Chains A and B, each alone.
Chain A
Amino acid sequence: MFDFSIVTQWFDALLRETLGLGDFLSILIECVLVGVIVLTAYAVIAMILIFMERKVCAYFQCRLGPMRVGYWGLMQVLADVLKMLIKEIFFVDKADKFLYLVAPLLVIIGSVGAFCFLPWNNGATILDFNVGVFLLTAVSSIGVVGIFLAGWGSNNKYSVVSAMRGAVQMISYEMSLCLCLITAVILTGTMQMSGIVEAQTGPFKWLIIQGHIPAFIAFIIFLIAGNAEANRGPFDMAEAESELTAGHHTEYSGMGFGFFYLAEFLNLFIISGIAATVFLGGWAPLNIGIEAFDTWMNYIPGIVWFMVKAFGIVWLLMWVKWTFPRLRIDQILKLEWKYLMPMGLINLVLMTVFVALGLYIK
C-alpha cells in the first residue's frame, strides 16, 4: 500500500532543511496548510452529500430530483451555497446574543474536530492519538452543547423543545455508540485510528469478518445509534419539520444556518466514516488470501477504498432515512434504553469471551 507519510515527511524536510525554517515557522505553515485542506475537504464533501441526499431521496420517491441547474442538476448545490453565503445574518429580539452566536460555532467545531480523526489513507490520518477512538467520541459530543445552546439562545419555544429533545436523544445514544466502539477496540487491541486500520489489513481481516457475530451486531447497533447521533433518518425528532419548523436552527439565517446544515450532513459522513474505519477496515483493501487478487486490490489507492466504504454506508443510512417514519420521543428512548444499550452490553461480553477463547479469525 502507498504510504502517504512519504509525502508529509518530504514536505516537512523541505520546510526544515531545504528552506531552513525553524520549528515554529515550519509547524505553523504545516498547521495552516492542513487546516485549509481539512476545511476544503469538509465543504466539498458536504456539497457532495447534499447533492447525493437530494438525488437519492428523489429516486427513492420515484422523482428525478434537481434537474434544472446545470446538467442533471449538478450546479444546484453550488447555487444553494452561493445563496446561503450572501444571505443576511440577523439577531432575534431578546435572544441571548452570545449563546446565539457561539452555538453554530460549537456545532461546527465538534463536527470538524471529529472529521479530522478519519483515516483517509495509509499514513494520512490528521489526528492520530493513541487514545483515538476515545477522544473522537469526546470531541464529537461538543456538537450536543451547540445544539442545546442554539435552542436555548434563540428565544423561541420550538427551538427550546427541539434542544431538549436533541440533548436527550444524543446523550442517550452516545452510550450505545461508545459501547460498540469499545467492542471493536477489544478485538483490535488499540484505540489509535491508524492502529485499528492496521489490525484489519490482510486476508479476511476486516473487523466485521474477523469478529463475525459480535462484530456484526456491534456494526448494526453502531449504525442505528450513529443515525440517531447525527439527528437523521427516523430519529430526526429534534428537527421534526412538521411540528417544530426546523427545530433548534429555526431562528438562524445565512451562514449560521449554513453551519448547522453543514454539520448535520458532515456528521452523517463522520458516522459512516467511523463505521467504515472501525468495522469495514478503513483504507484497508479487500484481501482474500489469493496472491493475484490481493495484489490487484492493493493497487487501488487507500483513499478510494475509504471513500467507497464511507459513501456506501452513507447510502445505506439514506435508504433507512427515506424508508422509515419518525419515532416519538418515548419510542426513541425505549429503543435505546430497553433494546440497544442492553444488547450492546451483552455484545461487549460476547466479544470479550470470543477474544479470550480465540474464536475470531486470526
Chain B
Amino acid sequence: MVFTKMEENKTYFGELGHGIKTLAVGMKTTWKEYFKDFFTNKSTEQYPENRKTTLHVSARHRGRLAFKRDENGAYKCTACTLCEKACPNGTIKITSHMAEEPETGKKKKVLDDYQYDLGDCMFCQLCTNACNFDAIEFTNDFENAVFDRSKLVLHLDKEQYQGGSLPNLLDGGAEWQVGKFNTKTK
C-alpha cells in the first residue's frame, strides 16, 4: 500500500480529526451546490425546447466539415489531398485534373469534386490540422440527422453552405450562462 507522507505522520486521533474535517468540507460544498439558487442553478440545457432561444453550442464544437469561403463565395482549396491522406477513415475523396492557368501558362491542379462523407467522419480534426491553405474548418452545426444515408455524402465545393439550421449558431448561439436557461421557450 502506498501512503503519502502526510498520512504517515498522523496519529490515530489526528487521522480521525483530519478525516472528519475533510468530510465536512465535502458536505459543505455539495450543500452549497444543492441550495444555491435551488431552481435555476442548473448547468444542463433542455435541448429541443430551447433550440431557437437559449441554446449554446461552443463555436469550437465539431459538428461537420465545411469549406471556408470569402465574401465572393470563393474557396481556398487547391486539391493537394493532404486532408484526404490525413483522414484515418477515408472520409474525404478528392478528384482533380491538371489544367493550364491562362495568365501564367503554368500547369496547376484544379478541384473537380471534394466529397466528404459525414456518416464516416469521426470528427478527429486531423484534416483541418493537415490543411496548409486554411481551406476547411469544422463548424458547430450539429443537427445533421437525415432520413437517407446518401444525403450524408456531401460535396463541399459545390454546396452553398449557409451555416447552421439555427439562428447565429455558428457564433455559439446564446451566451453561455449557468442558471439562466429558460427551459420552457420553444
Which A residues lie at the B interface, using CB under 8 A? 59-64, 67, 319-320, 322-324, 330, 338-339
Nearest-Cβ distance from residue B27 to partner chain A, whole angstroms: 6
Provide the bound-state CA to CA distance between A254 and B126, in Å: 45
B43 within 8 A of A: yes
Cβ–Cβ contact B27 & A320, under 8 A: yes
Residues of A within 8 A of B42 (CB): 62-64
The 7 closest A-B pairs by CB, nearest first: A323-B30, A62-B43, A63-B44, A323-B26, A60-B34, A62-B42, A60-B30
Q: Mark B145-181, 1 if CB is under 8 A from A, else 0.
A: 0000000000000000000000000000000001000
Residue of A nearest to B179 (CB): A62
A64 close to B44 (CB less than 8 A) = yes
> B residues within 8 A CB of A63?
42-44
Residues of A within 8 A of B44 (CB): 62-64
* A319–B43 touching, CB < 8 Å: no
Q: Is B16 in the interface zone, CB < 8 Å from A? A: yes
Q: A324-B23, A339-B16 known; A62 and B30 CB under 8 Å?
A: no
A322 pairs with B43, CB closer than 8 A: no
Min CB–CB distance A229 → chain B (angstroms): 19
Candidates B1, B26, B34, B38; contact of A324 at CB < 8 Å: B26
Q: Mark B24-44, 1 if CB is under 8 A from A, else 0.
A: 001101110110001001111
B46 at the binding interface (Cβ < 8 Å): yes
Q: Would B27 and A62 count as touching, CB distance under 8 A?
A: no
Complex Cα spacing A235 to B38, Å: 28
* Distance from A78 Cβ to chain B, minimum over Cβ atoms (Å): 21
B1 to chain A: closest residue by CB: A330
**Are A62 and B41 touching (Cβ within 8 A)?**
yes
Interchain residue pairs with CB less than 8 A apart (20): A59-B38, A60-B30, A61-B33, A62-B33, A62-B44, A63-B43, A64-B42, A64-B183, A67-B46, A319-B27, A319-B30, A319-B31, A319-B34, A320-B27, A322-B30, A323-B26, A323-B27, A324-B23, A330-B1, A338-B12
Give the docked Cα–Cα distance between A279 and B31 (Å).
Answer: 24
CA of A177 to CA of B73, assembled, Å: 74
Beyond the given pairs A62-B33, A67-B46, A319-B27, 15 more chain A to chain B contacts, judged by CB atoms under 8 angstroms and listed by A's residue number, are: A59-B34, A60-B33, A60-B34, A61-B33, A62-B42, A62-B43, A62-B178, A63-B43, A64-B183, A322-B30, A323-B26, A323-B29, A330-B1, A338-B12, A339-B16
Within 8 Å CB of A330, what residues of B? 1
State the CA gap A161–B1 with chains docked (Å): 20
